[in-house]
Each structure stands twice: as C-alpha cells, then as structure tokens.
Structure 1
C-alpha cells in the first residue's frame, strides 16, 4: 500500500476519534469550559477537516501512486497542519493574531493547494 494512502487512513482515524470531542461538546459543553476551551465549534471544524484531508490523501495516493517523495511530504504536511490549526483556535480567536500561527497556516495552505496543483500536473 502506498505511504500516502496509509498516512491518509491514519488521518481519517484521527478525524473519527475527534468525532467524540464533538459529541462531548454537544452533550457536556461545560466539560470543555473546564480546560479553557471557549470555542468548541472549532473541534467540529477540526474533526471534519481531518476527515476530508485524510480522504484527499487516500484518493491522491490511489489515483497517482509513485509520486516523488518530496511532493508526498509537502502534501502530508499541508493536509495534517491545516486541520490541526483549528485546535488552538478552540481556546480563543486571539491565536490567529500570533505571527507563528500566521506563518504556519500560510505554509500549510501553500503546501496543500500548491501540492495538489503539482499532482494534477504530474499525474
């Protein structure tokens, strides 16, 4: 099995497990408040994005096996970091003003979108 497919399946599993965080935010919202989460809706966004990005990796890995390793690394970076960026935002919107957050999010967006364009060109 292609490495990108395996990594995508792991990402799907992470997304599935995060579904439990969504259930808790609906059934016991005070549980998240105790650890400082003020925007539990971001957990739902992370859950959905991990699932979608995992599906992208699986689909690309199956449709275009044998991509160069550097391109796989770029795609894996982007498709893992994009959904992970929702998690710190659960503690409040102020995180998006931090320079590190802005740089990392910019890099992950470029990696995902640019990587997928390159896959379309190379495949």
Structure 2
C-alpha cells in the first residue's frame, strides 16, 4: 500500500459492498472446503474417517461454494448499489444453497425430510430473487443511461 492510499493510518480505498464481501468469504470457504474434498477423494479411508456417507455431496458443496461465491462477487461488482433487499436475498441464498449439500454428505436421507426440502426451496427462491433482481437492476440502469 503506498503512502498516497493511507491517511492517518486509514486505508482510503472504498470498502467492498456487503454483497461482494459475502461472495469473497464464500469463495474462500470454497477454497478451504477443497481440503475436505481432497481428504475424501484421495484418501481411500478419508470418507469413513470423517463419517461421510455420501462423498459426492462433498464435491457438490465444494463446487457450489466456489461457483456461487464467484457469481456473487462478479454480479456485486457489475451492479453496485443494487437495492439492499435484492443484495441480501442473493447473499443469503448463495450461502444457504451451497451449504445445503453438507448435511447430505452425512445424512443422505435428509433429502426426504420435509423441513430440509422447505429450506432447500427457500434457498432457491432467495437466489432466484437475488440474481434476477440484480439482472433487472442492471437492465434498468442500462436503459436509463441510454436516454
């Protein structure tokens, strides 16, 4: 950091939005979850040691954290200052959607549980509202800019 970006010990660069920060943290969690995936994938006894019944769900969990974290960062940077409710819906839904795979690694039968299914549906609603709302915000800004 150069002295031009620091004044009185404070970083003068703009802080990322809550949505972007959430996506960056989710992406970091995805990177860290790769250790669990590697333990399950490359250690023949890894899944048993970790009491994992469905190793494929660990892969889904790992990839969803990375994909949704990346998508959240990208759309948060592409459409800054979108409505807060839309941003919150996306951030919450992205985390919830990815994290829904982890319990299934340990208890695959949860997929038939009505409470689990309702939570899963809620995560899809939240991400759908979030990503679609961000797209609507982007299109509105584009149209307004063309006028």
> C-alpha distance in 1, partners of 2:67/2:24?
11
TM-score between both structures, scaled by the size of structure 2 = 0.79
Higher relative contact order (CA 8 A, sep 6+): 1
RMSD, aligned CA:
1.2
| Structure with the higher fraction of residues in helix conformation | 1
Q: Larger Rg: 1 or 2?
A: 2
Q: Structure 1, unaligned stretches of length 5 or more?
A: none
Q: TM-score, normalised by structure 1?
A: 0.93
CA distance in 2, matches of 1:46, 1:102: 16
> Which among 112, 130, 135 is matched to residue 115 of structure 1?
130
- Pick from 45, 53, 58 the counterpart of residue 30 of structure 1: 45
Q: Deviations over 1:14-63 (max 9, x none)?
A: 00000011110122242331343111121111111000000111011100
Counterpart residue number, 2:60: 45
Q: Does 1:63 align with 2:78?
A: yes
Mapped pair 1:101 → 2:84: no
Q: What is the aligned partner in structure 2 of residue 5 from structure 1? A: 20
How many residue pairs get matched?
A: 123
5+ residue gaps, structure 2: 1-15, 139-147
Any runs of at least 4 consecutive aligned residues in structure 1 with deviations exceeding 4 A, and if so which? none
